[in-house]
Structure 1
Amino acid sequence: MRKHSQELWLVLMVSLGASAIYSVLSLARKLTSTQGLAGSVTTINQPLAKTPWLDLVSQLASISLALVPVLLALYFLRMDKIKIGLMPVKRDWIIGISLPLIIGIPGIALYVVALNLGLTSRIVPSSLGDYWWTPVVLVLAALRSGLQEEIIAVAFFAKKLKIIRPEITIISVVVLSSLFRASYHLYQGFSAFLGNFVMGLVFGYLFMRTGRVAPLVIAHTIMNTAVFIGFPLVAGFL
């Protein structure tokens, strides 16, 4: 007999659940360091090797391996005969392109305010070298985050939770999913926790209403791509 609770915990702990634990520990280190949270710097996309070609191979390997838990989650959902609307249709693209304007711009404003108040770490989206492949890797990294977070933290989390606890309300599922999303962003600071919690509420609600994860993946990928690639253009103003 299958144990859905075990499947949920296993997928989480080999992916974003483990990230949540490391995120809390990272925040604790920043808070107890001599420079404090306000004086800390968090780099999201870092070089993995000094040699350019080896760095490229390492980046691609890291992105690919991070998607294995996503495949595991999709495998379990297929065994449950549950569809999550991963393949985008026209309406998904419309929603996916619109969401970054609703979520992304206020999120950046929240970060700037929190940074000035000393409530967050200074975020450096990328410290990769200026190579021909850098934009490609950053787009792939953005897509990886979109697939990993929206499929695991929203679709898989919500569907498995409903199987495990059929009586649970939609509001409870959305709130729990949002708290989980916020937890693995704590390494960035308190504004990231709040911003991602609000983002989780919006994304979770949309998924529970539509049953489609595609627009969330599209929106997440667009937002991360804009931040990763556009950061050098605005870094001097932050």
Structure 2
Amino acid sequence: MDTSADAARPATASAAQTAVPSRRRLKVEIVIVLGLSLGYYAISAAITLVERYLAEPAIGQQSTTLNPSRSQIDYLDLLSQVVRQAYLLMPVALVMYLLSMGGRSVHRVLGLTGGWKAAGADALRGLALAACIGLPGLALYAVSRAMGQTVRIDTSGLPDAWWAATILLLSAAVAGVLEETVAVGYLVTRLKELAWAPYAAIAASALLRGAYHLYQGWPMALGNVVMGLVFAYWFHRTGRLGPLIAAHWTLDAVSFIGPELVPAAWLESLGVA
């Protein structure tokens, strides 16, 4: 005679078996996810880097704008900015859906558990990570600019509008969620499920991060590879994505808002203007 517990076992076993797709489906899934998100940006960045070296003036005299204005009409610019940020979160929704297939908890897979207390601890760890990464990153930017191998990065092309700072902070948050969820949480998890060695998965995640930053110049791409190694290793060892998202948001928020607050003379003296 079957008990309720016995009846539940087949369903539970079936859910566990279907939680991870076959190797073939996993490979196709990874290609699709990256093709719709960071993989596409990596290919575009590589093409842009080649163009920068072939074009005039020299790459060190070129510039790029990370948050450009999207309309000359104020309220349409704001609307376009919001729609753009929502669009960038679609790959995040996709990977969270894929990782939850078969009844698996995506929050457990990505380490987004523990409630507000754990979130607070993750935020503090993120701030510490941001400090460890941010100062060397600023130095790398200054040195690579002096070498003439990195473009001048304008972190905001937004108009002087009441909503500009909010959009910059939102953009920083979306970048953190998108990049850390896809390049670290999703990719490292899926590559491990494909039986990749942990350090091979970490290296792949780091190289992807460096690749989609190639548009800034090879030194900054290399610096992002180092950052990617640290972040992917952190996720591998702790299983928690929250600190990485917090660190990324902090780094981008400071770089997006900082130039608006720090006097231009200070930035020029540091060699980062």
Q: Considering the TM-score relative to the shorter chain, is it more than 0.5?
A: yes
Alignment partners' CA distance in 2, 1:69 and 1:208? 21
- Structure 2 residue identity aligned to 1:186: L
Given candidates 68, 71, 84, the residue that maps to 2:110 is: 84
**What's the % identity of the aligned pairs?**
37
- 2:184 match: 154
Q: Tell me whether 1:204 sits opposite 2:204 in the alignment.
A: no
Q: Tell me whether 1:115 sits opposite 2:141 in the alignment.
A: no
Alignment partners' CA distance in 1, 2:129 and 2:263? 21
Alignment partners' CA distance in 2, 1:26 and 1:204? 26
- 1:55 match: 77
> What is the TM-score when the length of structure 1 is the normalising length?
0.95
- 1:42 match: 64
Alignment partners' CA distance in 1, 2:220 and 2:171? 19
Task: Map 1:1-238; keep pairs closer than 5 Å.
Answer: 3-79=25-101, 81=104, 82=106, 83-86=109-112, 89-164=119-194, 166=195, 168-232=196-260, 233=262, 235-236=264-265, 237=268, 238=273
Q: Which has the higher contact order (CA 8 A, sep 6+)?
A: 1
- Structure 2 residue identity aligned to 1:230: G
Alignment size in residue pairs: 236
Structure 1 position 234, deviation (Å): 5.2
Higher Rg? 2
Structure 1 position 32, deviation (Å): 0.6
Point out where structure 1 has 5 or more consecutive residues left out of the alignment: none
Structure 1 position 235, deviation (Å): 4.4
Structure 1 position 175, deviation (Å): 1.0
Alignment partners' CA distance in 2, 1:93 and 1:54? 34
Matched-pair contact (CA < 8 Å) for 2:144–2:220: no
Alignment partners' CA distance in 2, 1:199 and 1:235? 27
Closer/same/farther in 2, CA of residues 198 and 206 from structure 1, 3 Å limit: same
Q: What's the CA shift string for 1:194-225, capped at 9, x where partnerless?
A: 11111001101100001110100000001100
Structure 1 position 28, deviation (Å): 1.1
Structure 1 position 136, deviation (Å): 0.5
Closer/same/farther in 2, CA of residues 234 and 151 from structure 1, 3 Å limit: farther
